[in-house]
Structure formats: C-alpha cells, structure tokens
C-alpha cells in the first residue's frame, strides 16, 4: 500500500496483481488494486473490472462481517469506490457510516488515494473531525 500512498500507482498495480496471482485475493487487495488502477490511468475504461471485483468482495464482506470493524472496513471500501467514480454524495454517506462503526477508518481516509479528489470537501473534513 505504500506504493499507492506515495503515488507510485504503476508499481502498486503490478504489486497488487502479483499478490492476487500468488493466491491472496482479499477484499483489501481488490480494493487497493482498483484504487491504484484508477489513479494510474483515470480515464481508462479498463478499470471497470477491477472496480467490479472490489465492489463484489466488499459487498460480500459487508454481508458476512460479524464485527463492527470489519463492517466499517467494507463500508469504507465501498465509499472509496464511489469516490473514485465521482459519486461524492454516496461516497461521503458511506464514509460517515463507516466512521460511525469504527474511527479506525479516519486515518485510512486521510491517506487513501481514493479520496484525493474530495479531500478538500468540507463535508469530508467534517466527517473525519467528528
């Protein structure tokens, strides 16, 4: 994830694909691959498959997660995908729900490239500050 956080999206995409190829294809890997893919080439339609795969894994996690922390992570990921699609209202509502379940996601949102385009949004900042 360091590669994504540092803006090296090309190598982040490569790394996440290698991790998937090695058999570790979790919701976290799928989400971060989608984020890095979109940030690497924002106007490329190829991202729809990585976004769809991440969304499916996160929806499965949300449906089966027994703990607030896992539910929060799933809500956070789905909100991050909405942010990447430019669906700011849905993204912020999802982030708000995730933060209500666990404040752990606040730190993630401060550094996650999915939120780059709306990080200056007052509602985004308010959710993190509450």
Which of the pair, 75 or 45, is modelled with greater confidence? 75
Q: Which architecture characterizes domain 2-129 according to CATH?
A: Alpha Horseshoe (1.25)
Q: Band of the pLDDT at 114, cuts 50, 70, 90?
A: very high
Inform me whether the pLDDT recorded for 7 exceeds 90: no
First to last CA, the chain: 26
5-9, 71-75, 81-85, 114-118: the lowest-pLDDT one: 5-9
Sorted by where each begins, the domain ranges of the chain are 2-129
């Amino acid at each position: 994830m360091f590669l994504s956080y540092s803006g090296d999206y090309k190598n982040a995409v490569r790394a996440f694909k290698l991790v998937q190829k090695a058999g570790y294809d979790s919701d976290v890997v799928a989400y971060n691959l989608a984020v890095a893919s979109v940030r690497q080439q924002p106007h490329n339609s190829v991202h729809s498959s990585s976004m769809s795969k991440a969304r499916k894994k996160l929806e499965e996690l949300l449906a089966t997660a027994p703990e607030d922390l896992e539910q929060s992570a799933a809500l956070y990921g789905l909100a991050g995908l909405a942010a990447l699609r430019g669906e700011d209202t849905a993204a912020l509502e999802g982030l708000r729900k995730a933060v209500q379940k666990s404040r752990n996601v606040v730190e993630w949102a401060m550094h996650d490239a999915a939120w780059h385009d709306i990080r200056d949004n007052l509602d985004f900042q308010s959710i993190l500050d509450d």
